[in-house]
Structure 1
């Protein structure tokens, strides 16, 4: 196989007419890859994505060919997938206000050009989910907010509308399933691509602790930091060290942070799927 792309977390290999997508144990925060991996994270992300692809198959086709037909050294954290022409937009949807969306709202009352009601606070549930796409940055680059109109200019009006509508539909289905399991999906980002037959497919990962904010539904309370099952814990730790994404070197993760991060990912997987995690 030939390594043709290395992303922040995933490595992409060409293997004949297919691709093999390998989830590493790397962790990125604020679009910066940290020097310390979280062992087992790649396998968890792969297993949870595969579970979600099954739950969403009636909404949108995906890129998965096989989770078994992969090289032995990547077993458990790799999938064989179709080659796609990736849509050059990170499809982001928010059902709750937090993170960069909250920062923008506090300044302008809008998120990606979408006006929101007054008086919202960190953790507020939005009146309806909103589509807030970003650019797709390379490793080391920051993803930047875009308006929907800018995505239409970039990829064409028809494709932009299809990606937006599917993103919102995937989020609504995922949020409904997760809430029944005690997890709020506050927001998530998706990726789409077009196969050789012109079919738009869901790709990469879907509704994982890396790509989503998972909150404890029982503990949710607007106006406070929400207990979570995602990498917000790592973001908060990194920020607490005084590090910023513009610093030359990212901090090493202490073992306690590695263990706590993995525990959160495992808990999310087990709550959502109803399966016990065994690696």
Structure 2
């Protein structure tokens, strides 16, 4: 792309830096790639990158008082609608996970220890139960292709220092509570999410990357949840379920059927419409 040079590709995002040698900004492009069980799958989910970008920018607007990394620079026409020009930050090696409900890996850990990342929880909780209050359950970012490691707050302090750990925890819990209330007004439950933060040149704690998207969060339809269904989320769970039923985890994952691709694309689009309408 004119003015930008590709430097990195993750599971979903592609990163570009300016060709003019400046080091203060970067271009983040959300592709339509989809991953599950640490594998990038084929084919892509049409419109997924645009949906992730639209939701992220919408949430940044809802949380306008929270410093974020988006710059007003125009993005190249080739990636319009699925890219952001962002301020370059010094990123923390911590996934700031907040859980308001018990599900996913948190449920597995709870069943084994009655706690999640060292946070004790009441006995007798079931899959999808709402927690007494949201909890901060950080993870250490793993290299690409490896699983992130759930860690305690004490381990977070060891990694980034007491002041930064407290700031990450407090900011994450505050943003989660505010976002949960906004989603609830739209008939959507924000069950859990993960944030990434960095510091800018002035040392300001800054919210970065994708924010409160269906790739970084677990959303449920409030009416469906109230009716007893706690597994139908607004994300790629359709893909995970199909893959779990049709692949043993060995070798190359099978190609996703057209019907799974179409249903997943529709699910992403439905969440955009529910939140931003």
TM-score, normalisation: structure 1: 0.93
Aligned length: 270
Q: Decide whether the 8 Å contact of 1:32 with 1:139 is kept in 2.
A: no
2:70 to 64, 73, 78: 64
1:215-234 per-residue CA deviation (whole Å, 9 max, x = no partner) reads 01012159754322112222
1:11 to 1, 11, 14: 14
2:5 to 2, 11, 16: 2
Q: 1:272 and 1:175, CA in 2 relative to 1: closer, same or farther beyond 3 A?
A: same
Q: Distance in 2 between matches of 1:141 and 1:86?
A: 19
Q: Decide whether the 8 Å contact of 1:219 with 1:226 is kept in 2.
A: no
Q: What's the counterpart of residue 101 of structure 1?
A: 106
Runs of 4+ residues deviating >6 angstroms: none
Q: What's the counterpart of residue 252 of structure 2?
A: 249
1:117-170 per-residue CA deviation (whole Å, 9 max, x = no partner) reads 111111000000011111212321111111111111111111111111111111
1:131-210 matches, within 5 Å, as: 131-210=136-215
Q: Distance in 2 between matches of 1:38 and 1:189?
A: 22
Q: Does 1:121 align with 2:117?
A: no
2:233 to 225, 228, 233: 228
Q: Distance in 1 between matches of 2:213 and 2:53?
A: 9
Q: Could you tell me how far 1:35 is from its partner in structure 2?
A: 3.1
Q: 1:264 and 1:150, CA in 2 relative to 1: closer, same or farther beyond 3 A?
A: same
Q: What's the counterpart of residue 45 of structure 1?
A: 52
Q: Which runs of 5+ in 1 are unaligned?
A: 275-279
Q: Decide whether the 8 Å contact of 1:121 with 1:223 is kept in 2.
A: no
Q: Distance in 2 between matches of 1:5 and 1:102?
A: 33
Q: Could you tell me how far 1:47 is from its partner in structure 2?
A: 0.7
Q: Could you tell me how far 1:33 is from its partner in structure 2?
A: 2.1
Q: Does 1:261 align with 2:264?
A: yes
1:67-88 per-residue CA deviation (whole Å, 9 max, x = no partner) reads x611111111101010001110
Q: Decide whether the 8 Å contact of 1:122 with 1:223 is kept in 2.
A: no
Q: Could you tell me how far 1:174 is from its partner in structure 2?
A: 0.6
